Amino acid sequence: MRPAVERAERRVAESDFALSVVEGLSGPHKSLPCRFLYDARGSELFEDITRLPEYYPTRVEIALLEAHVEEIVQGFGEGGALVEFGSGSSRKTEILLARLPRLSVYAPIDVSKAALEGASRRLSGLYPALSTRSILGDFTHGVPLPQDVAEIRQLGFFPGSTIGNFDPPEAVEILGLMRRTLAPQSAFVIGVDLKKDARVLVEAYNDSAGVTAAFNLNLLARANRELGADFDLAAFRHEAIYDPLKGRIEMHLVSVGEQTVELLGERFHFRPGERIHTENSYKFSIEQFSDLARAAGWRVSRFWTDARGWFSVFELR
Ligand code: AVJ
């Protein structure tokens, strides 16, 4: 891409971040949208999280995909397209691709151009016959498929339980957008984190090495880097709690003392103990997720869970 276009794109992205930060810190309940956790540094830290002993979702989901891949891809592949929503590093995709030798197209959708380029380079090395059609876009807004992908059979893929980052009404909206993105008759494979002992959940988001804390605090570091904010990272601490009524993990950044932060000419005051809500991660029962999928117009055709019932992979149609 031309350098001028790249610079303009970066300014647009920065002003989206700027507006969201000012908006999020202005109300009585401070919050920042979790999508901003994933800049280059944040994506690196998230990769580290997936390798933590306490963070079970990635490992359990990969084991499920590996154990059931034959069934998952059964009857699919001949000349079709694998469409992945929020593909990131595309690590889980490889499990499916290894069993889809006659797939025509891999179509990853992501907001990060760097992630798309990296994954495309790696996968074309592994599967020279596969053509990758990267789609730069935000799946929460609905992304139309390019003509050549739209015309062939599709298998949708949305691993990672990213659906849990959205409030239930939003999750229904997004699952509906994905249903309308894919051609009728398409199958859609989605990873869903399940309800379990609160201690296991809280530890997964409060690891002893402090990687999740660094991931959360990177949001403030990013505001310092990109918006010239003066957040003192030592004056905030990471907090992750499980709300059993809402069925979700919440991440917060808690102001250790009284402080004022300045950014973009605005001043934001923090009381001691005041929090910035940075992420929700909903956990589902099989029934709850099935209801959500049905509300978005999907039918649950099959699902697989591990022996402990910690994670589940659903096939929707
Ligand atoms: C990738 C969004 C599913 O909610 O578990 C991990 C993000 N946040 N640790 C999750 C995350 C803190 C993760 N998702």
Q: Encode pLDDT of 51-63 as tens digits.
A: 999 999 999 999 9
Mutate to test the pocket of ligand 1, among 46, 56, 212 (most ligand atoms within 8 A of CB): 46
pLDDT digits (tens, 9 = 90+) for 21-69: 999 999 999 999 999 998 889 989 999 999 999 999 999 999 999 999 9
Tokens of 6: 């790249």
Cβ of 162 below 6 Å from ligand 1: yes
Whether residue 8 has pLDDT greater than 80 = no
Cα Dmax for the chain: 61
% of the chain residues with pLDDT over 70? 99
Mutate to test the pocket of ligand 1, among 110, 111, 165, 217 (most ligand atoms within 8 A of CB): 165
SS3 label, residue 214:
helix
Asked which of 6-15, 99-108, 185-194 is least confident by mean pLDDT, the reply is 6-15
Q: Which residue's alpha carbon is nearest to atom 2 within ligand 1?
A: 162
pLDDT digits (tens, 9 = 90+) for 194-206: 999 999 999 999 9
Cβ of 160 below 6 Å from ligand 1: yes
CA–centroid distance, residue 174 to ligand 1 (Å): 17
Q: Which residue's alpha carbon is nearest to atom 10 within ligand 1?
A: 281
Tokens of 197: 């002992």
pTM: 0.94
pLDDT band per the 50, 70, 90 thresholds, residue 1: low
Give me the pLDDT at residue 112, please: 80
Give me the pLDDT at residue 217, please: 98
Cβ of 281 below 6 Å from ligand 1: yes
Whether residue 213 has pLDDT greater than 80 = yes
CA–centroid distance, residue 150 to ligand 1 (Å): 30
CA–centroid distance, residue 190 to ligand 1 (Å): 15
The span from the CA of 80 to the CA of 174, in Å, is 23
Q: Which residue's alpha carbon is nearest to atom 14 within ligand 1?
A: 162
Cβ of 278 below 6 Å from ligand 1: no
pLDDT digits (tens, 9 = 90+) for 144-195: 999 999 999 999 999 999 999 999 999 999 999 999 999 998 999 999 999 9
CA–centroid distance, residue 58 to ligand 1 (Å): 10
Cβ of 190 below 6 Å from ligand 1: no
Q: Which residue's alpha carbon is nearest to atom 4 within ligand 1?
A: 281
Q: How many H-runs (helices) and E-runs (strands) does the chain carry? A: 10, 13
Q: Which of 67-81, 113-127, 164-178 has the highest mean pLDDT?
A: 164-178
Sequence-distant (6+) residues with CB within 8 A of 151 are none
Cβ of 218 below 6 Å from ligand 1: no
Mutate to test the pocket of ligand 1, among 51, 281, 282 (most ligand atoms within 8 A of CB): 281
Chain-centroid distance, C-alpha 225: 23
Whether residue 75 has pLDDT greater than 90 = no
Pairing of strands 248-255, 236-243: antiparallel
Whether residue 13 has pLDDT greater than 90 = no
Cβ of 45 below 6 Å from ligand 1: no
Give me the pLDDT at residue 77, please: 66
Cα radius of gyration (the chain): 20
